[in-house]
Structure 1
Amino acid sequence: MTTDPPVTLPAALAGAVALGPDRDALVTADARITWAGLDAASRAAASALAARGVGRRTRVGLLAGNGIDWAVCAFAVLRLGAVLVPLSTLLRAPELEQQLRVAAVERLVLVGSFRGRSYPDEFAELLPKGGRAPRLPALRSAWLLDEVLADAARFPLADALEARVRPADDLAILFTSGSRGTPKGVIHTHGNAFRAVAASLPVRRIGRDDRLYIPMPFFWTGGFAGGLLTALAAGATLLTEATPAPEDTLALLARERATLFRGWPDQAARLAAHPATAQADLSSLRPASLPALLPPGLRAAPGARANLFGMTETFGPYCGDPLDTDMPSASWGSCGTPFPGVEVSIADPSTGRPVPQGEHGEIRVRGPHLMRGICGRSREDVFTPDAWYRTGDLGHLDRSGRLWNHGRLDDMLKINGATVYPSEVESALTSLPGVHAAHVTSLDGPDRPVLAAAIIPAHHAPLTEPALRDAARAILSPFKIPRILRILAPGSDIPRTPTGKPDLPALRTLLTP
C-alpha cells in the first residue's frame, strides 16, 4: 500500500520532522539546521509575519541569497497560506519594479546587502514611505530579513492560518523568461508543486539518506523546486551556498559527504577543471550526479542518460529516465519518458493538430503538475480549450514514448532555405574533442541569415577555427556548419538573462564581426 505524498508546505514539513527531527535539513559553509529546527524557526517567523499583517493570499516578495534565513522566511510565508514571490539578487531597479508590479507584491522582505550591493539604498525610490509606494500601488511594506527573523513574538493567528492551507492555494509566483521574451510570473499551487516534485524523485534518485548539493539560487525554479522543496519532499539534506567559489564548494562537498551533485552541467565541468578538485575527496558522490565530477569508471557514455527536461511552468522537470541507468541505445540523447501524471503531445504549431509519431512539432503538456496560470493572463490565453499548455519547445516522441528536444519554436532557423535546429548543431559541436560547450544562433548576413556559434573550449584544449571546421564537416551537413565561429576563453560563459537563460541579443552582439 502506498501513501500519497503531502501536497501542502505545512504537511510536507510535518512529514519531514516526523521522519527525522534531528536530521540535517539545510547545510551551508558555516551553518546548519535540522528539520525540527527549521520547523521551529519558520513557525516563529510565521508569527512575526502574521503580527505584521501577512495573511492568507498575501503576496510576499523575498530578495536574499541562498541560506538558512531564506528557507526560514520562505517556509514562514507558506505556512500562513501567503504567496511567496522569490526575487533574483541579480535584478536592477527597473527589473525589480517590473516584477513587483506584475506579481502585485504587497509585502517585501529583503536583506540589507548582498555581494557588495545595498538593496535598501539601491531600491529606495521603489520602497514604501509612510505606507505608500507611489510607483507600486500594491506594495504596502518593506522589511529587512534579519529584523523579521529577530521578531519571534507568538501570534496565535499564525497557527490558525496554517491549519487552513489547502492544496489548491497558491504557493509561489516564479519569474521566468525565454531567451527573447520579457519575464512572466508563473503561478503554482501547493498541490501542483509538491506533486511535480514527488513525481521527479524516483528518476532523480533522491531519498531521505541523500545529501544533495544544488548551486542554483533559490529564486530560480532549479534551486527552489529542484533543491529546497526536493529536500523537503524527500526528507533529505540540502547543501547550498550563497556565493559559490570552487575551493569553498569542494570543501563543502567533501566535509558533508555529498551524495548527489545536480545543477547545470557547465558548473560541474568548471569545478572539475579546477586544480583543487584532484585533491578533494568526492568519493561519496553517486552515479546520479553530474558526470564531470564522477571518476571515469562511474561516468556514462555521452547521451546514455536522459537529459532531464522541464520548465518553470511545470515546476521543474516533467520528463526523464533514472539518472543512474543507461537508456536503450536507440534513445541516447533523448530527454527520457514523461513522468506519471504528465501528458505530452506533439502538435503542428500552425494548426494545433497532433502530428504522426516521430515527426517534429511543438511540445504540449497537460496534467495536475502544471502551473495554475500566469500573472495578468486569462486561462483561455494560457491553455488550449482542452487544457494543453503550448510550451514553445520543438520536439518529437519516438516509438518508445521518449521525448526528444529540438530547441525553441522561435529559435528554429532558416539557413539557405533549409531548416536548422540550433540544439542539433550545438550537440554536434559539443561532441567534438576539446569542445566544452557550444551556443548557436543566427546573424543577419548581406543578403540572408547566416549561422554563428560561440565555442567554449574544455580546459587547456588547443582549439583553432580551421581545425574545428574540419572536424565539424565530418558530422554536419554543409549548411549546418556555422559560417561565423568565435572561440571563447576556457571557463568563460555566454551572456545570460537574469533568469539564467542565454541572452540571444547579447550573444548576437558578441558574435557580430
Structure 2
Amino acid sequence: MTAPSIVFGPRLDEEPGQGAQTIAGYLREVVARYGPREAVVLRQGACRISWSYDDLMERAMAVARALVGCGTAKGERVGILMTNRPEFLSSLFGTALAGGVPVALSTFSTPSELDHLLGASQVSTLLFERQVLKKDFGAMLAEIDPAIVQGRPGSLASMHFPYLRRLVSLGDVPDREGQPAGEVSGAVETWERFLSRGAAIPPEVVLTRSEGVHPADTGGIFFSSGTTSLPKGIVHSQRAIAVQWWRWPRLFAMHEPVRSWTGNGFFWSGNVSMVVGAAFSTGGAVILQRLFDADEALDLIERERVTFLNGRPHQWARLQGSARWPGADLSSVRYVPRGELVRQHPSVATDWEVPMSYGCTETMTICTSFVADDPQGGFEGSFGAPLPGNVLKIVEPISRRVVPVGTVGEMCIKGPTLMSGYLGKAPEECFDEEGFFCTGDAGRVDAAGRFFWEGRMTEMIKTGGANVAPVEVDEVIARIPGVKRTQTVGVPDDLLGEMVVACIVPIDGAKLDEATVVARCKAEIASFKIPRRVLFFREEDYAVTGNEKVKSSEVRALAVARLAADTAEAVRPPLA
C-alpha cells in the first residue's frame, strides 16, 4: 500500500543557529554580539548615513520610549508607512521593544487602499513618511478623514478610524545626520516631537516591557498583495519572525558578515525577513535603497560592496539595461536568488546557487527548502523538505483526504512560522480541523519527503490533458536578456483546451522575437510547456499594481484580443 503524503520536518529545538525567539530578544542578542559594527547604511545623494548595531539599538529605544510615553499598551498596533530608510528599522524594533505590534503598510497604496489598510489593521499610532515620490501621505490622510486636519497632535478623535489616536510625520531624508522638522498640520506631529515624548521614560522600563513579550505573542502584521481582491491582514507571532531571521544564514550557507540589499519595500515579508536576517544574523549590514532605481542600485552595490542581492528577475533585466551596467564593478556579489542575469556580468564570479524553496506570506516566507552547501542538497524539480518544526500534507482539494505519495493535490502546511490567522477571520476560516493552512497550491511529495510544487491550482494551464504552471515558464523567459516583464497565460483553444501563450514586455530598445523565446524554452522545459505563441506588449499595456504584480486575468484578456486581431488580419481579403 502506498504511504500517505504527510511529511514531518526535524524538531525546531534541534535547528542549528536559532536564538531568542522574540523580535526584541533578537535585536538585543545581535547587538550584544556585534555592537560597534556597521549595521545600517543609506546613501542619499552625497550623504552617507551609517548606523552601528549600538546606534540601531539607541534609535529603536528612542522610538520605544516615545511609544511608552504616549501610553502605548502591550499588543497595541503601530502602523509603519515608510520606504526602506533607517527609521523603518528603528520603528520596527522600537515598536517591538515597547511591547507593541508593528504593522507594515505599503507605500504604493492609493487613497482607497490606505483607507482599507488603516481600517483593517486598527492601528493606534501611524508612523509615516510624508512624501514618497509624488504621493503626499499627509494630504492623502486628510482627504480620507477631515478629522485629521481638525485635530491636535497626539489627540486624534476620528469616527472613521476609531482606534487611531496619533499620527507622526517623517520628513525627507536629510543631507546630513539628523531629521528636519517638515511641515505638519492638525493632528499630525513631527518625528522630533514624537521622540521627545519619551525623554522621561527610563530605558529600563522599555527593557522590562520587552522581557514580558513571549514567542507566542503577536509579532507583526503584513498584508497580502491584493492583486485580485482587497489585501488580507496576515498576523504573525513573535517566534515566526525571529525563527526566519535566524535561519537564513544556515539555509543560504552564509559564513561571513553579509552586506545585503533589496530595492523592494520592507512592507513585504520576504524582503524584511531575508535582507534583515541575512545581514544581522551574520554581523553584516543592511544597505538601504528607498525605491528601486537601476542606476542607483548599481552604484550602491559597487560602492558598498554588497554581497547579497534580493530582487526579482525583471529588476535584474533593468540592471542589464542601465548604461552603467557594462562598467560596473560587481565583484563583491556572491548571493543572488534567481540571479542568472546578474551572474552574466563579467565582474561577477560566484558559484553559489539559491537552494530551491517554497513559501508564502502566510508562512512568513519559506517553509520547505534545501540547504545551499549540503552535498546531497538539490533534486531536480523539488523545492526541498519541510523546515524544522513544520508538517506538510497533500490533500485531495474537495474531500480534503490525504492522497498517496506521488499524487498531485493541494499542499497544506503547519508549523512555527505559520501565521496566527487573518485579521477579522475565525480560525476555521484560516485553517482546517488539524490546524493546517491549505495554500491553494498544487504539489506532490516523493518517498524521500521532498516537495514538488506544481503551480497555483486556480492558475494552472490545462493544455492537451497536461498541467502547466505559468511560473515555471516565466522563470525561463525572465532569464532571457532583454525581457523586462513576462506573464504566461492559458488561452482557450478548440484543440488543446488551453494554449500556452507568453506575454512579454521587452526592455526599451531590446530586440526579441518569438523564435528566440521558443528556442530558449525548448532547451529548458518539457515540450508541452513551451508557449505556442509569444506576444510582445508595451509597458503601458500591462495592468501592473504598485508591487509590480500583474493580474493574470487581464493579461489573458489582452492575449485573447491580440490573437483574435491577428486571426482577423490573416483572413482579411486583399485590397482590389
When the two structures are superposed, what TM-score results if normalisation uses the length of structure 2?
Answer: 0.79
- Secondary structure at 1:384's aligned position in 2? coil
Residues 319 and 337 in structure 1, CA contact (< 8 A), matched pair in contact too: yes
Larger Cα Rg: Structure 1 or Structure 2?
2
Query: Does residue 1:148 correspond to 2:191, yes or no?
Result: yes
Alignment of 1:309-348 (within 5 A): 309-323=358-372, 331-348=379-396
How far does the alpha carbon of each residue in 1:72-100 deviate from its partner, in whole angstroms, 9 at most, with x for none? 12211111111111111110111111111
Aligned residue identity for 1:18:
A
Residues 441 and 453 in structure 1, CA contact (< 8 A), matched pair in contact too: yes
Aligned-partner Cα distance in 1 for 2:445–2:298: 39
- Secondary structure at 2:27's aligned position in 1? helix
Q: Which moved more, 1:142-151 or 1:437-446?
A: 437-446
Aligned-partner Cα distance in 1 for 2:480–2:406: 27
- Secondary structure at 1:183's aligned position in 2? coil
Alignment of 1:175-194 (within 5 A): 175-177=223-225, 179-194=227-242
Aligned-partner Cα distance in 1 for 2:446–2:509: 38
* Unmatched tracts of structure 1, length 5 or more: none
Aligned-partner Cα distance in 2 for 1:471–1:291: 14
- Secondary structure at 1:171's aligned position in 2? strand
Alignment of 1:112-131 (within 5 A): 112-127=130-145, 128-129=147-148, 130=151, 131=156
Pick the aligned partner of 2:283 from 235, 241, 264. 235
Distance change (3 Å), C-alpha of 1:499 and 1:346: farther
Aligned-partner Cα distance in 2 for 1:168–1:497: 34
1:455 maps to: 504
Query: Does residue 1:134 correspond to 2:166, yes or no?
Result: no
How far does the alpha carbon of each residue in 1:366-404 deviate from its partner, in whole angstroms, 9 at most, with x for none? 111211111011112211121211011112223443322
How far does the alpha carbon of each residue in 1:260-304 deviate from its partner, in whole angstroms, 9 at most, with x for none? 222223323331443312322221222566343235784669xx7
- Secondary structure at 1:275's aligned position in 2? coil
Alignment of 1:75-474 (within 5 A): 75-127=93-145, 128-129=147-148, 130=151, 131-145=156-170, 147-149=190-192, 151-152=195-196, 153-156=199-202, 157-177=205-225, 179-207=227-255, 209-287=257-335, 290-294=339-343, 298=349, 305-323=354-372, 331-415=379-463, 419-427=467-475, 438-443=486-491, 450-457=499-506, 462-465=511-514, 468=517
Distance change (3 Å), C-alpha of 1:308 and 1:269: farther
Aligned-partner Cα distance in 2 for 1:229–1:305: 16
Q: Which moved more, 1:246-255 or 1:470-479?
A: 470-479
Aligned-partner Cα distance in 2 for 1:459–1:6: 48
* Equivalent residue pairs, number: 509
Query: Does residue 1:26 correspond to 2:74, yes or no?
Result: no
Aligned-partner Cα distance in 2 for 1:277–1:433: 13
Residues 199 and 340 in structure 1, CA contact (< 8 A), matched pair in contact too: no
Distance change (3 Å), C-alpha of 1:419 and 1:248: closer
Q: Which moved more, 1:44-53 or 1:222-231?
A: 222-231
Aligned residue identity for 2:536:
I
Bigger relative contact order, structure 1 or 2 (CA pairs below 8 A, ≥6 apart):
2
Q: Which moved more, 1:291-300 or 1:242-251?
A: 291-300
- Tell me the CA shift for residue 493 of structure 1: 10
Distance change (3 Å), C-alpha of 1:94 and 1:460: closer
Residues 334 and 350 in structure 2, CA contact (< 8 A), matched pair in contact too: no
Pick the aligned partner of 2:536 from 478, 483, 487. 487
Aligned-partner Cα distance in 2 for 1:498–1:244: 12
When the two structures are superposed, what TM-score results if normalisation uses the length of structure 1?
Answer: 0.88
Aligned-partner Cα distance in 2 for 1:17–1:37: 9
Distance change (3 Å), C-alpha of 1:299 and 1:350: farther
- Tell me the CA shift for residue 113 of structure 1: 1.0
Residues 463 and 498 in structure 2, CA contact (< 8 A), matched pair in contact too: yes
- Secondary structure at 1:16's aligned position in 2? helix
Percentage identity across aligned positions? 28
How far does the alpha carbon of each residue in 1:342-361 deviate from its partner, in whole angstroms, 9 at most, with x for none? 22222211222222222221
Aligned-partner Cα distance in 1 for 2:543–2:21: 37
- Tell me the CA shift for residue 193 of structure 1: 1.5
Aligned-partner Cα distance in 2 for 1:7–1:220: 20
- Secondary structure at 1:411's aligned position in 2? coil
2:56 maps to: 38
- Tell me the CA shift for residue 42 of structure 1: 1.1
Distance change (3 Å), C-alpha of 1:325 and 1:494: farther
Residues 314 and 483 in structure 2, CA contact (< 8 A), matched pair in contact too: no
Aligned residue identity for 2:287:
L
Aligned-partner Cα distance in 2 for 1:3–1:274: 39
- Secondary structure at 1:350's aligned position in 2? coil
Query: Does residue 1:7 correspond to 2:56, yes or no?
Result: no
Aligned-partner Cα distance in 2 for 1:431–1:40: 43
- Tell me the CA shift for residue 185 of structure 1: 0.5
